[in-house]
Amino acid sequence: MLKQVIVVRRDLKMGKGKLAVQVAHAAVSAFVEVERRKRGLAEEWLREGQKKIVLRVDSEDELLEVFKKAIAKGLPAVIIEDAGLTQLPPGTRTAVGIGPEDADKIDQVTGNLKLL
């Protein structure tokens, strides 16, 4: 079973719309990365129903730790930095997108995190 995980920072106290957009940025960017590197995996995930989970962390340090662990495990991962056009300063790291990839592999990195 394949899935995609999006991890977002709660400490930024983004509005609901801003949060939704950051999650969408992470989901699309991570998918594009997988499609570029592992096209067959991306297509399989689309056929399986595009399972996504959104999890939370409480700081930029925690977000960066998740990203580094994902990369170290060879998982496709992206980090999202806000453009700074609305609520946040430019370059604020808001979210990480991981996968789609094998759910068990992603769980090794994110299995201890709580749902948003």
Is the separation of the CB atoms in 45 and 33 below 8 Å?
no
Residue 103: CATH number of its domain? 3.40.1490.10
Question: In the structure encoding, which two tokens stand for residue 48, read together?
Answer: 């399986």
């948003």: which residue's tokens? 116
- Give the tens place of pLDDT for each residue, 44-68: 999 999 999 999 999 999 999 999 9
What's the structural domain count of the chain? 1
State if pTM tops 0.85.
Answer: yes
Residue ranges making up the domain that contains 41: 2-115
- Give the tens place of pLDDT for each residue, 80-95: 999 988 899 999 999 9
State the Cα–Cα distance between residues 15 and 8, nearest whole angstrom.
Answer: 13
Question: In the structure encoding, which two tokens stand for residue 72, read together?
Answer: 């170290």
Largest CA distance in the chain: 38
State the Cα–Cα distance between residues 87 and 48, nearest whole angstrom.
Answer: 35
